[in-house]
Amino acid sequence: MQPIDAIQVTKGMKTICIASAKGGSGKSTLATALAVRAGQEGRVALLDLDPGTASMTMWLQARGRPDELHLDTGDGLISARVKALAASGRFDFLLIDTPPMDVELIQAAIEAADAVIIPVRCGLFDLAASVVAAEMCREHKRPHAFLLSHVDGRHPILVEQMIKPLSGMGPIFKTRVKYRKAWITALNLGRSAAEFDRESRAEVNGLWDEVATLLRKGRLDE
Ligand SMILES: Nc1ncnc2c1ncn2[C@@H]1O[C@H](COP(=O)(O)OP(=O)(O)OP(=O)(O)O)[C@@H](O)[C@H]1O
Ligand SMILES: [Mg+2]
């Protein structure tokens, strides 16, 4: 695992955005898991751009609204909110969870991020939808990578079929997030799957290390 100083090349808060125009790709689940993981390295703020029912805000309530995960409830432009959080000097990491479909909001979140994770499930429609966020990242020159999520361990062929077309659209995290019960039950409990499931913990740690590389180098290792 990489220590915090490896990530903090520049002084100040690092903003990690989880974005995809495709609904149900795993954005909010990953945002909660990474929030917990980030909390092991520094002070964390959360920006929930989809504070409806199935959201990070709801998960925080189930977790008992812990002080160490600060939920930003401000309003106004995303860029201004991110700047204000950074300027406060109170946070090392900001996690942004985005809604599906709302292209303007996704774009604003991507623009404000230091690194963008684009979760993708295996399937043609998922592949097609994931290009939207990737193009935004390229347009705004934001370091980004695709994350294969909900991977069915029984059918590795499905991942293999995704790799070629997806790699033509952008970099892919080596870490894969498997479809696992722990990821679902964790949400009900206001927890991260990594807090009680060893395999999920390995995935979150692997992803965190790769995100750290993305933040530090602006790209993934070969
Ligand atoms: N690794 C996983 N294994 C099994 N189920 C998962 C996994 N990750 C997420 N899920 C489940 O998949 C569903 C969609 O996840 P989630 O709500 O995080 O996606 P989302 O991209 O935030 O969706 P939306 O676009 O609606 O905001 C949820 O029911 C969640 O519990
Ligand atoms: Mg969501």
Asked, for residue 168, whether it belongs to a domain, the answer is: no
CA angle, corner 147, sides to 107 and 85, nearest 5?
45
Q: What is the pLDDT of residues 28-83, one digit of tens each?
A: 999 999 999 999 999 999 999 988 777 899 999 999 999 999 999 888 999 999 99
- Quote the pTM value: 0.95
**Mutation to probe ligand 1, out of 97, 105, 154, 184 (largest number of atoms < 8 A from CB):** 184
Q: What is the CATH number of the domain that holds 102?
A: 3.40.50.300
Asked, for residue 47, whether it belongs to a domain, the answer is: yes
Asked, for residue 126, whether it belongs to a domain, the answer is: no
Residue 175 CB less than 6 A away from ligand 1:
no
Domains of the chain: total:
1
Task: Please give the distance, rounded to the nearest whole angstrom, from the Cα atom of residue 88 to the centre of ligand 1.
Answer: 32
Q: Who surrounds ion ligand 2 at CB < 5 A?
A: 27-28
Tell me which residue range forms the domain holding 110: 4-118+181-213
Cα-Cα-Cα-Cα dihedral sign, residues 177, 105, 63, 88? positive
Asked, for residue 140, whether it belongs to a domain, the answer is: no
Asked, for residue 219, whether it belongs to a domain, the answer is: no
CA 130/CA 11 separation, integer angstroms: 31
pLDDT at residue 19, as a whole number: 97
Asked, for residue 190, whether it belongs to a domain, the answer is: yes
Asked, for residue 158, whether it belongs to a domain, the answer is: no
Asked, for residue 69, whether it belongs to a domain, the answer is: yes
Which residue's CA is the closest to the ligand 1 atom numbered 30? Answer: 184
Ordered mean pLDDT values, 10 residues apiece, the chain (222 residues): 44 93 96 97 95 87 94 92 96 96 94 98 95 96 98 95 95 98 96 97 98 96 87
On whether the CB atoms of residues 15 and 31 are closer than 8 A, the answer is no
